[in-house]
Amino acid sequence: MFSFIIPAFNEEKNVRIIYQKIKNLESNKNNDFEIIFINDGSFDNTLEELKNLANENKKVKIIDFSRNFGHQAALTAGLKIAKGDAIITMDCDLQDPPEVIENMILEWKNGFDIVYARRLNFRKDNWFKKIGSKIYYRIFSKFSLIDIPRNVGDFRLIDKKVLLELNNMPELSRYLRGMVAWTGFKHTFVDFYRPDRKDGESGYSLSKLASLGMDGMLNFSVLPLRLGFYLGMISTISGFGLLLYQIGDFLINGAYYHLYKWLIVVIFIFMGFMFILFWIIGEYIGKIYNEVRSRPLYIIKEKYNL
């Protein structure tokens, strides 16, 4: 049995298209399958379209959130109820082409527990997102505690035993790309060219992307903890360099420097250094606070065919 988990946020034009594409997959024609849609607080007619599909086919299951809780929360909700031997997570915007799934299932049958769909092209975002994404993943891969594959998103296939491990992870700050990689199961890749979105708008705003990136950096990287050390070394080396320059200029050229000029420079350096450290500490305290209060990751308003 195959389980498809598809978060949907304002995707009224796409839900029936992706449903038909999944239904027509060769691997599903002679096998049992379920399609779990998570309506993540849509304010268009997405829920009505999903209900129509659920009435037509009992294999279509719906989780309706009380509001928008985010992509990672929606995926987590779907993973909690998935019953398949293989679970495929994908977006509803058709940028994760269902045609790739056949190759993913083939690799799974060949013995791989995790099959990542790896993008060969980059989406048509504005230049700020492109540059920011490249810089982020380069830094993240260098300082991450685990090896998280690059150019992969949440379009993947996982075996049921990987699902069991994910569902046993209690953290509220969910970064599923890192969590799946952390399990360490045997994995491979299926490459594809990602098409552009045709209908609707991306549910990932710049602020949501930044939040997701922060979850990944804080949960799976030691860079924030080491950032203070790096900045401290830079400040120390710079201070010694300025001191040597001052001594040399004094001995060779007879120049005289007032002490307050150097004190002002040093104070500004360490003020910036302290503010950065306070920011890092605040981020970790915020994460600890979220975990300790144990507020639910999402609230389900209604369920259909479940």
- pLDDT tens sequence across 83-96: 999 999 999 988 89
Residue 250 domain flag: no
Residue 99 domain flag: yes
- pLDDT tens sequence across 150-194: 888 899 999 999 999 999 998 887 889 889 999 999 999 999 988
Residue 237 domain flag: no
Residue 108 domain flag: yes
**CA-closest candidate to residue 15, choices 53, 43, 58, 41:** 53
Residue 217 domain flag: yes
- Cβ atoms within 10 A of the Cβ of 275, count? 10
Q: Which residue has the higher pLDDT, 123 or 304?
A: 304
- Cβ atoms within 10 A of the Cβ of 297, count? 19
Task: Note if the pTM is more than 0.85.
Answer: no
pLDDT score recorded for residue 107: 97
Residue 78 domain flag: yes
Residue 231 domain flag: no
- pLDDT tens sequence across 31-84: 789 999 999 999 999 999 999 999 999 999 999 999 999 899 999 999 999 999
Round to whole Å and give the CA distance between 280 and 231. 13
Round to whole Å and give the CA distance between 267 and 273. 10
Round to whole Å and give the CA distance between 204 and 192. 21
N-to-C CA span, the chain: 16
Residue 137 domain flag: yes
Q: What is the mean pLDDT of the chain?
A: 82
Could you tell me if 199 and 13 are in contact, meaning their C-beta atoms sit under 8 angstroms apart? yes
Could you tell me if 76 and 178 are in contact, meaning their C-beta atoms sit under 8 angstroms apart? no
**Which domain does 185 fall in, by range?**
2-221+295-304
Look up the CATH number of the domain holding residue 159.
3.90.550.10
Q: Look at the chain and report how many structural domains it folds into.
A: 1
